[in-house]
Structure 1
């Protein structure tokens, strides 16, 4: 990885791809597709920062390809610049009306092309930065509730195609109101930051997401993780928070800050709504609190049926393995 922005060049003429590659390869990573269908596939894998899209192509033309890109939830925000030998104003108007951000004609003027691309790349980077800030909790630096819900829906859509596994963990700091009352809100903020760092330290896979769901409640999304793995990770998180040894004399769960966790796991082909996964994990979280706090309780979601809850820590012989 070079850190350069990535541009996808879509053109059925190899010579045009070579010309654009020569113009752009100093400042950008350039990949290419020879058809509209291939462009959709490559864009889904590569997630380029900008697409240069030829209009006149066999099969899907540029207009049709642009329309499909804009209808795709994961690709609709990618800026598209049409490249064409057509110079009629009607063609330009049609392209812009489909969501393209610009329109350049062949033969290419390298200086002008690089300037236009640079402008649109900078605009996209600014939009991405604003979008990231809108989905980030400013205190902990984790994703916020909006970011978690957006990511959860995207993962459910992706994993539903292959009936993939997914787990959601909800976490609540035990007796946090009394902690704030006893130690003050600045200490409460420091506690939340430490818990957030402990959460990130335990959840280490690149595809997982940690979030501050609200107040003293945190959450994790674990794509591809089954019930057993999520329960083990939940116990690692629980033990890690307890090991922070943050004094909490007014807690009903112990002398230090602890957390109660709920786990919901299942396969995604059932297409349960995202809110059902959150609610299931939240129910398990409150069961953990009911059982005495500072523990992990989990449930495997099997379509319309659910298995009996399992809770840790408890004696091994009483665990109902799912």
Structure 2
């Protein structure tokens, strides 16, 4: 757990699930100093907590009233946003069939009550370390090699994750598509090495505008970037897009072959939607792309935006 905090600068999040509060209190006492602890006393509450907080590890009781631990595990492993969360079953019954069933469902370990604090801490630490290593490797695979921001694959994953969450919670989701104006001319004028440096500087400027940890900027391809903003209405997204435009212009990167100004600028298209069963994530991306086209057609170095409704 010390390794986790050193690598992430925050405590690992553990969700304790048990319908007997005394059992939760025992585990809470064991991990409260080193971990951020969340608690659930039934299966439905556990599922909701996992979707909301995305814990780094779940300690899950098998035998609970209503939705039991096996059912909870199955639901978590079926959902893309929660399937990678490691689950350790904790139960008073050490029957072999329970262990077999747990591992078949995707659990990483099995602990029998009454718990031994030394054993529990050792196993939790092992699986948190494995989770951290997996997260680090996965994060490298989801970064754009040139700019250091997220890549297209990460954007697609984040968009789908937040789309499902917005659909479930009936909240607004916004997407910004961003294009560096006349970038081909920039490369032709200054060379590809300067072009790469330009993209790196633009990425830093754009990413510097984003403040919330759950917002995401990604390199979408070539000189195009994209931003997904969960729980964000149109006016907030447009304000963010305008700050991005200002941040890039403030770099004062010379671009003598640009039509608008003799510095590097960006055009931005913004689209906002409250997802419904009749829409898909492609709907909002397609509209943001259309708004980007309109911004470029209107003269570039500007923001164009639209709020989608069911009728559109």
TM-score band, normalised by shorter chain: 0.7 to 0.9
Q: 1:228 and 1:280 mapped to 2: Cα distance?
A: 16
1:213 is the counterpart of 2:220: yes
Q: Which residue of 43, 49, 73 corresponds with 1:42?
A: 49
Partner of residue 234, structure 2: 227
Which residue, out of 268, 283, 294, partners 1:287?
Answer: 294
Alpha-carbon displacement from aligned partner over 1:16-61 (angstroms, at most 9, x marks no partner): 3333334333433333322222322333333221111122222222
Q: Structure 2 CA distance, aligned partners of 1:266 and 1:25?
A: 40
**What is the CA RMSD across the aligned residues, in angstroms?**
2.3
**Are positions 1:104 and 2:127 aligned together?**
no
Instruction: Give the one of 10, 24, 34 matched to 1:27.
Output: 34
* Match of residue 273 from structure 1: 280
- Quote the Cα distance in structure 2 between the aligned partners of 1:181 and 1:253: 17
Q: Distance in 2 between matches of 1:211 and 1:164?
A: 22
Residues 297 and 10 of structure 1, relative CA distance in 2, 3 Å threshold = closer
Over 3 Å counting, the alpha-carbon distance change for 1:206 and 1:5 in structure 2 is: closer
After superposition, the Cα gap between the structure-2 partners of 1:10 and 1:236, relative to the gap in structure 1 and judged at 3 Å, is closer
Give the C-alpha shift of residue 120 in structure 1.
0.8
Question: 1:308 maps to what in 2?
Answer: none
Q: Given the superposition, is the C-alpha separation of residues 15 and 267 from structure 1 closer, same or farther in structure 2, using an over 3 Å criterion? A: closer
- Secondary structure (helix, strand or coil) at the match of 2:294 reads helix
Cα distance between partner residues in 1 of 2:12 and 2:271: 38
Per the alignment, in what secondary structure is the counterpart of residue 308 of structure 2?
strand
Distance apart, 1:223 and its partner CA: 2.7
Unaligned runs of 5+ in 1: 306-322
Distance 1:203 1:29 in 2: 25
Counterparts of 1:147-166 in structure 2, within 5 Å, are: 147-166=154-173
Describe how 1:98-137 pairs up with structure 2 within 5 A. Answer: 98-137=105-144
Deviations 1:67-120 (A, max 9, x none): 222223322221111112222322211111011111122232322222211111
Structure 1 moving runs of 4+ over 6 Å: none
SS in structure 2 opposite 1:269? coil
User: How far apart in 1 are the matches of 2:97 and 2:43?
Assistant: 21
Following superposition, the deviation at residue 11 of structure 1 comes to 2.1
SS at match of 2:145: coil
**Structure 1 partner of 2:151:** 144
Please say which of residues 291-300 and 92-101 is displaced more in the overlay. 291-300
Supply the distance in 2 between the matched residues of 1:165 and 1:47 (Cα, whole angstroms). 20
Aligned with 1:17: secondary structure? helix
TM-score by length of 2: 0.88
The SS at the match of 1:167 is strand
* Structure 1 Cα separation of the partners of residues 29 and 237 of structure 2: 48
Gaps of 5+ in 2: none
Structure-2 residue corresponding to 1:318: none
When the two structures are superposed, what TM-score results if normalisation uses the length of structure 1?
0.85
Aligned to 1:310: none
- 1:187 corresponds to 2:194: yes
Match of 2:256 in 1: 249
d(CA) in 1 for partners of 2:262, 2:23: 69
The answer to whether residue 14 in structure 2 is matched with residue 7 in structure 1 is: yes
Larger Rg: 1 or 2?
1
User: 1:47-62 maps to which residues of 2 (within 5 A)?
Assistant: 47-62=54-69
Give the structure 1 partner of residue 270 of structure 2. Answer: 263
- 3-state SS in 2 of match to 1:220: strand
Aligned length: 305
CA distance, structure 2, for counterparts of residue 18 and residue 229 of structure 1: 41
